[in-house]
Amino acid sequence: MKIKVNCPAKINLTLEIVNKREDGFHNIKSIMQTISLYDYLTIEVKKNSEAKILLSGNSTEIPYDEKNLVYKACRLFMEKSGVKADVNIYIEKNIPIAAGLAGGSTDAAGTLLGLNELLESPFNRSELHTLCSLLGSDLNVCLEGGCILAEGRGEKITKINSNLKLPVTLIKPKNLGISAKEAYGKYAELKEKPQNNMTEKMLDAISNGMAINKFLYNDLENAVFNDYKELQSIKSSFPDSIMSGSGSTYFVLQDKLNKPVSSDYQVTEGLEFISYGVKCNNFVTN
């Protein structure tokens, strides 16, 4: 049996750090939005007591072993369900890595959803969300999709009733990836940590049908901005741009850029907000 899963990227319309937790993570308040940039998973399963996991794909930048969050999602699914199967997953990678777009998280959430479809749905939706929360901070957002208020370390989600249908253009330095560990570490070192309450202001703007551009905000951008000339260059050319997640991707809410960008940057135009998260299609029984 085989299935194809669409796994969308997300951007952070706001990202505010509330405090540091005892487990080393940070509590956040963030409004996240899934967008029309996708990785695609082709998942094939054969029930087998050996339960082998084989990953492959089109990217040379990610591991295809137990370090990959997709592999960890497979292993967790079988541990919690008791179902044993050989799993073969091909990852078509289109979302840049270490980019603040939840590429790894959306692939892992898509893996859980795809396996659940293929293996006779041992988990309901709530239980899938529980599995997501065990694997990482953004998986629940990627599973649910649309416009989401994320709290805790990102796993506590509330769907926002949003009619936003906005265009998105991404700008990413080609040779710069920023890990979440680095970004949060540098935030912890900041002497001044602004408390702008932008998430609440953004929620009010969305609920009242107001323009949201002036409420775009990211605490982690403040933490890493001064260390990277690439980020400074983006902001200088596009003052309305904002960093997504831990970076290094910036986005603007427009269909196309209004000026050229050097070849050192990857630009993805023509994207848009979408109302869903990971979803299965092309279900095939061999």
List of domains in the chain: 2-160+274-284 (3.30.230.10), 167-271 (3.30.70.890)
Total residue length of the chain:
286
Which tokens sit at 10? 């997300």
Mean local confidence (pLDDT), 178-188: 91
Our answer to whether residue 138 is catalytic in this structure is yes
The residue among 177, 103, 138, 192 whose CA lies nearest residue 30 is 138
Tens of pLDDT, residue by residue over 198-237, are: 999 999 999 999 999 999 999 999 999 999 999 999 999 9
Q: Is the dihedral of CA 195, 199, 204, 209 positive or negative?
A: positive
pLDDT at position 23, please?
79
Eight-state DSSP code of residue 154: T
The C-alpha atoms of residue 282 and residue 41 are separated, in whole angstroms, by: 11
pLDDT digit string, tens, across residues 79-90: 999 999 999 999
Catalytic residue among 138, 172, 186, 219: 138
Q: Return the pLDDT at 19.
A: 81
Q: Of 4, 10, 29, 172, which is the active-site residue?
A: 10
Q: Are 244 and 98 in contact (CB under 8 A)?
A: no
The average confidence (pLDDT) of the chain is: 94
Rounded-to-integer distance, Cα 163 and Cα 174, Å: 33
39 is a catalytic site residue: no
In 127-264, the DSSP E strands lie at 147-151, 156-159, 167-173, 217-218, 242-243, 250-252
Q: What is the pLDDT of residues 60-112, one digit of tens each?
A: 999 999 999 999 999 999 999 999 999 999 999 999 998 999 999 999 999 99
Average pLDDT over residues 248-271: 96
Q: How confident is the model at residue 27 (pLDDT cuts 50, 70, 90)?
A: confident
Q: pTM for the complete prediction? A: 0.95
> 13 in helix, strand or coil?
strand
